[in-house]
Structure 1
Amino acid sequence: MKEHGRATFLRLTQPAPALLPHARWLLLLFTVAVSINVLTLLYFGGAGHSAIWLLVLIDLVALAGSGYCLAQMLRVHEQAIANQARLTEQIELRDARFRALVQNTSDIVVILDATGQVVYRSPGAERADMLPPQVLTGSSAFEFIHPEDVPRARAFLQEIFQTPRVNLTRDLKLRRADGSWRDFEVVAINLIDEPAVAGIVVTCRDITERKLAELALRASEARNRALVDAIPDMMFRISRGGIYLDFKPSNRFTPLLPSEAFLGKRLSDSLPTDLAECSLRAIEQALETGEPQILEYQLLHEGELRDYEARIVVSAPDEVIAIVRDVTEPRRLEEELRETQKMESIGRLAGGIAHDFNNLLTVIGGCSELLLLDLPENATDQRETVGEIQQAADRAAALTKQLLAFSRKQMLAPQVVQLNEVVAETSAMLRRVLGEHVQIALDLEPALGTVRVDRGQIQQVVMNLAINGRDAMPSGGRLTIATRNARESGGTSHQDGGSTIGEFVVLTVSDTGSGIDAATRARIFEPFFTTKE
Structure 2
Amino acid sequence: MAIVRPDGERRWIFVTATPQLDAEGRFKATFGIFYDITERKRAEEALRKSEATNRALLEAIPDLILRHSRDGVYLDFKAAKDFETLVPPGEFLGKRADEVLPAEVARKALHHIEQAIRTGDVQVFEYQLPMHGEMRDYEARVVVCGEEEALGIVRDITERKRAEEVLRESEARFRSVVESLGEGLLITDLQDTILYANSRLAEMSGYAPEEMIGRPAFELLLPPEDWEEIHRRNERRRRGISEWYEVQLKRKDGSLFWTETYGAPFRNAAGEVVGTLGATTDITERKRLEEQLRQAQKMEAVGRLAGGIAHDFNNLLQVIMGFSEFLLTRLAPGDPSRREVEEIYKAGERAASLTRQLLAFGRRQVLRPKALDLNALVSDMGRMLRRLISEDVDLVTVLRPGLGRVKADPGQIEQVIVNLAVNARDAMSEGGKLTVETENVSLDEAYVREHPDASPGLHVRLTVSDTGCGIDPEIRPHLFEPFFTTKEAGKGTGLGLATVYWIVTQSGGHISVASEPGEGSTFSIYLPRAEDPAEAAPSADATVELPRGSETLLLVEDDELVRNLVGMILRRCGYAVLEASDGQEALRVSGCHPGPVHLMVADVVMPRMNGHELAQRLTPLRPEMKVLYISGYANDADVRQDALEGDIHLLQKPFTPEVLARRVREVMDGFSKA
Task: Name structure 1 gaps, 5 residues minimum.
Answer: 1-16, 35-68, 365-379, 382-391
What residue is the counterpart of 1:314 in the other structure? 265
Q: 1:146 to 1:284 in 2, by over 3 A?
A: farther
Q: Which SS does the other structure have where 1:342 is aligned?
A: helix
For the 8 Å contact 2:204–2:251, the answer to whether it is kept is no
Q: Which SS does the other structure have where 1:465 is aligned?
A: helix
Amino acid at match of 2:20: L
Q: More displaced, 519-528 or 211-220?
A: 519-528
Q: Tell me, yes or no, if structure 1 residue 206 matches structure 2 residue 172.
A: no
**CA separation in 2, counterparts of 1:463 and 1:426?**
14
**CA separation in 1, counterparts of 2:298 and 2:287?**
16
TM-score scaled to structure 2, two decimals?
Answer: 0.44
Give the superposition deviation at 1:119.
3.8
**CA separation in 2, counterparts of 1:183 and 1:297?**
52
What residue is the counterpart of 1:170 in the other structure? 124
**CA separation in 2, counterparts of 1:135 and 1:91?**
32
What residue is the counterpart of 1:154 in the other structure? 110
What residue is the counterpart of 1:467 in the other structure? 419
**CA separation in 1, counterparts of 2:266 and 2:133?**
46
Q: 1:476 to 1:105 in 2, by over 3 A?
A: closer
What residue is the counterpart of 1:287 in the other structure? 238
**CA separation in 2, counterparts of 1:252 and 1:460?**
41
Q: Which SS does the other structure have where 1:106 is aligned?
A: coil
What residue is the counterpart of 2:68 in the other structure? 112
Alignment of 1:269-418 (within 5 A): 275-292=226-243, 294=245, 296=247, 312-316=263-267, 317=272, 319-321=274-276, 323=278, 329-330=284-285, 332-339=287-294, 341-342=296-297, 345=300, 414-415=370-371
Write out per-residue CA displacement over residues 338-357 of structure 1, whole angstroms, 9 at most, x where no aligned residue. Answer: 25643784699599989x97
**CA separation in 1, counterparts of 2:231 and 2:244?**
11
Alignment of 1:229-240 (within 5 A): 235=186, 237-239=188-190
**CA separation in 2, counterparts of 1:524 and 1:295?**
23
User: How big is the alpha-carbon RMSD for the aligned residues of Structure 1 and Structure 2?
Assistant: 6.8
Write out per-residue CA displacement over residues 155-207 of structure 1, whole angstroms, 9 at most, x where no aligned residue. Answer: 201113325xx5723122242542533222222334356xxxx9533221112
Alignment of 1:444-463 (within 5 A): 452-454=405-407, 457-463=409-415
For the 8 Å contact 1:253–1:326, the answer to whether it is kept is no
**CA separation in 2, counterparts of 1:481 and 1:88?**
112
**CA separation in 1, counterparts of 2:462 and 2:79?**
100
Amino acid at match of 1:214: E
**CA separation in 1, counterparts of 2:443 and 2:57?**
89
Q: Tell me, yes or no, if structure 1 residue 121 matches structure 2 residue 77.
A: yes
Alignment of 1:38-117 (within 5 A): 73-76=31-34, 80=37, 95=51, 98-99=54-55, 101-103=57-59, 105-117=61-73
How many residue pairs were aligned?
423
Using the aligned pairs only, state the percent identity.
17
For the 8 Å contact 1:118–1:137, the answer to whether it is kept is yes
Q: Which SS does the other structure have where 2:123 is aligned?
A: strand
Give the superposition deviation at 1:460.
0.8
For the 8 Å contact 1:414–1:454, the answer to whether it is kept is yes
Task: Name structure 2 gaps, 5 residues minimum.
Answer: 1-12, 319-328, 331-347, 449-454, 486-493, 496-674
Q: 1:220 to 1:463 in 2, by over 3 A?
A: same
**CA separation in 1, counterparts of 2:379 and 2:295?**
29
**CA separation in 2, counterparts of 1:146 and 1:527?**
84
For the 8 Å contact 2:389–2:422, the answer to whether it is kept is no
For the 8 Å contact 2:66–2:75, the answer to whether it is kept is yes
**CA separation in 1, counterparts of 2:406 and 2:442?**
24
For the 8 Å contact 1:296–1:308, the answer to whether it is kept is yes
Q: 1:337 to 1:220 in 2, by over 3 A?
A: farther
Give the superposition deviation at 1:330.
3.8
**CA separation in 2, counterparts of 1:200 and 1:300?**
59
Q: Which SS does the other structure have where 1:285 is aligned?
A: helix
**CA separation in 2, counterparts of 1:182 and 1:450?**
79
Give the superposition deviation at 1:222.
5.7
Alignment of 1:216-255 (within 5 A): 216-218=166-168, 227=178, 235=186, 237-239=188-190, 242=191, 244=193, 246=195, 248=197, 250-253=202-205
Alignment of 1:260-271 (within 5 A): none
What residue is the counterpart of 2:137 in the other structure? 183
Give the superposition deviation at 1:148.
4.1
Q: 1:286 to 1:174 in 2, by over 3 A?
A: closer
Q: 1:308 to 1:98 in 2, by over 3 A?
A: closer
Compare relative contact order (CA 8 Å, sep 6+) and give the higher one, 1 or 2. 2
Amino acid at match of 1:178: H
Q: Which SS does the other structure have where 2:205 is aligned?
A: coil
Q: Which SS does the other structure have where 1:296 is aligned?
A: strand
TM-score scaled to structure 1, two decimals?
Answer: 0.53
For the 8 Å contact 2:188–2:194, the answer to whether it is kept is yes
Q: Which SS does the other structure have where 2:188 is aligned?
A: strand
Give the superposition deviation at 1:409.
11
Write out per-residue CA displacement over residues 228-260 of structure 1, whole angstroms, 9 at most, x where no aligned residue. Answer: 698885846242xx56465758344369xx989
**CA separation in 1, counterparts of 2:248 and 2:361?**
41
What residue is the counterpart of 1:61 in the other structure? none
Amino acid at match of 1:201: L
Amino acid at match of 2:31: M
For the 8 Å contact 1:146–1:174, the answer to whether it is kept is no
Amino acid at match of 1:461: I
The structure with the larger Rg is 1
Amino acid at match of 2:80: G
**CA separation in 1, counterparts of 2:427 and 2:116?**
100
Amino acid at match of 2:118: Q
Amino acid at match of 2:242: E
Amino acid at match of 2:274: E
For the 8 Å contact 1:350–1:403, the answer to whether it is kept is no
Give the superposition deviation at 1:106.
1.9
For the 8 Å contact 1:126–1:133, the answer to whether it is kept is no
**CA separation in 1, counterparts of 2:101 and 2:279?**
53
Give the superposition deviation at 1:518.
7.5
Amino acid at match of 1:28: Q
Write out per-residue CA displacement over residues 462-518 of structure 1, whole angstroms, 9 at most, x where no aligned residue. Answer: 11331343455569999x99999x898x999996698989xx9x978788x956537
Q: Which SS does the other structure have where 1:212 is aligned?
A: helix
